[in-house]
Amino acid sequence: MFPLIGAPRVIRYLYWGAGGAALLFLGGVLGYWLSDGITDLRKMFMPSPPKTEASAAWNDFSQRMGSLGHRILEKDFPSGTDRDRAEGIQHLTHVILEGLRWEFEHGGPDPASLMISNTDSTSWGAPNVDNKNYRARIDGASTYRLHGNVKSLHEIAVQTTAGDMHQGKVGTSETVDLSQLTIDADGNFVLTISPEPQEGDWLRQGEDHVILSIRTYFANWETTESGKFHLVKEGREGVAPEPLTEMEAAARLGRAASWIEANIVGWNRWFGMMLGGVEDNQPIAPRLVEGGSTTLVYGGIPLRLEDGMALVIEIEDPQAEYFSFQTYRRGWYHPGDYANRQTSLNQHQIHRGSDGKIRFVASAEDPGVPNWLDTEGRSDGFIAFRYIKAKHPQLPEVTLVTQAEVASFFPADTPRVSASERRATIAMRQRHVQHRFHN
């Protein structure tokens, strides 16, 4: 503003008043621009984005994920405490990451592409924490070859499926394990996967089977290394896929949303049906699960403990190629924090009593004995047990006891486990999980 030298006083007042108002207006606009109003102002001066398939797909995906975030606060999910809600958010992020990777990085069967699945940061469907899982899309008419090295693995299970259980697809092929593979002195094998018989090691896939699943098993977490795998589609070696179109990208975003929704709600519903009518702290007999491995039986114990209580679980040796007991969070069926706490034990990690029995203790407080399953301070949860090719796939005996009574269930010569020994075990678990999934 420039001064009006010599102008009448009333004119000068009007001039400065108008200028002040203008400055106040400009200052208000500037403040609004620098505050939350910036978005609204941009809408005023910038054109709206074009109505495209991509924008519609993003709108649909964001709305469905927003609705799902509210869905997990309903009464059939744990949502009554701060911890419940935090874990619900965490689990939902795991499933969103997995669903988007599955659709966008591995969205088609050509070329063949293996995805590391169900890791410590993308868990879903109560995974076995002794597994490193791989999956790939396949089609029912082609021939595939799986090349691998399993020199240090405890076991492997390869099968094809009609889809994912949480989307209602339960058809599976037979399971191929280490005993059925021709493995050379260096640990290498080649398995052909096709509808028609092939020479050498062969897995028959059903015409409607669209997923190849590989489970690799770790028993000794201190020494076991991951296997190495490579899948090829016969006749398509070295061929790049067609560029992704907007229409296909939008379709994949929609399929990812459907997979995520079905995963979160479907597994909660499936476990709810399985546990319906089962009393807390009572075991469920082991059985084959439709859509699961044909060599593996599953059982479980719905866990509920008041403060100061523990559950003692006793079994005879199941004489299995593999067995384990592992904790899960109800509602999400997300595994316990198996890297940073002892929430799982397999046949290599357990202590056998001098009387031949195997005893586990599930509790919030460390009982100072072997085979502790840490409930992470939760009053409820779920313990799954698994047997592969067990001669004695038994129902465990369980006893609800006070923390002070735990030691009396173990033979007198049972070694005590000190806090420093427990900490060393956790350090080993942390190293193994980092190595298995992150380097």
pLDDT in tens, 298-324: 999 999 999 999 999 999 999 999 999
Q: Is residue 284 classed as helix, strand or coil in its secondary structure?
A: strand
Residue 220 DSSP code: -
Q: Can you tell me whether residue 320 is helix, strand or coil?
A: coil
Confidence of residue 170 (pLDDT cuts 50, 70, 90): confident
Q: Global pTM? A: 0.87
The number of angstroms, rounded, from the C-alpha of 187 to the middle of its chain's C-alpha atoms is 29
Task: State the Cα–Cα distance between residues 76 and 84, nearest whole angstrom.
Answer: 12
CA distances from 46 to 43, 59, 290, 314 (A): 5, 19, 55, 69
Q: What single DSSP character describes residue 172?
A: B
Name residues whose C-beta falls within 8 Å of residue 144's C-beta, 6 or more positions apart in sequence. 112, 138, 192, 193, 194, 212, 231, 232, 233, 234
How far, in Å, CA of 212 to CA of 138, rounded? 7
pLDDT at 390 over 90: yes
CA distance 268 to 274: 10
pLDDT on residue 161: 94
- At 245-289, the pLDDT tens digits run 999 999 999 999 999 999 999 999 999 998 888 999 999 999 988
pLDDT reading at 29 higher than 80: no
pLDDT bracket for residue 412 (50, 70, 90): very high
Asked whether 364 and 345 are in contact (CB, 8 A), the reply is: no
Average pLDDT, the chain: 90
Percentage of residues in the chain with pLDDT exceeding 90?
A: 81
Residue 353, helix vs strand vs coil: coil
Q: What confidence category does residue 33 fall into, taking pLDDT thresholds of 50, 70 and 90?
A: very low
* CA separation for the pair 296, 388 (Å, rounded): 5
Residue 400 amino acid letter: L
CB–CB of 134/113 below 8 Å? no
Of 227 and 290, the structure prediction assigns the larger pLDDT to 227
Sheet with 397-402: list strands edge to edge: 372-374, 358-363, 309-315, 397-402
- What is the phi/psi pair of residue 267, to 5°? -70, -35
> pLDDT: is 47 or 255 the higher one?
255
Q: Is the pLDDT of residue 10 over 60?
A: no
Contact 139, 111 (CB under 8 A): no
What per-residue confidence (pLDDT) applies to 108? 85
What pLDDT score was predicted for residue 294? 76
At residue 293, the pLDDT reads 75
Average pLDDT of the residues in 172-190: 95
Enumerate the β-bridge partners of residue 399.
312
Cα angle 48, 51, 54; round to 5: 115
The secondary structure element, H or E, covering residue 18 is helix 9-34
pLDDT at 4: 42
- Provide, rounded to the nearest whole percent, the portion of the chain with pLDDT above 70: 88
Pair of tokens at residue 336: 């316990």
SS3 content of the chain, % helix, strand, coil (to 5): 30, 25, 45
Residues 6 or more apart in contact with residue 320 via CB below 8 angstroms: 347, 387, 388, 389, 390, 391, 392, 393
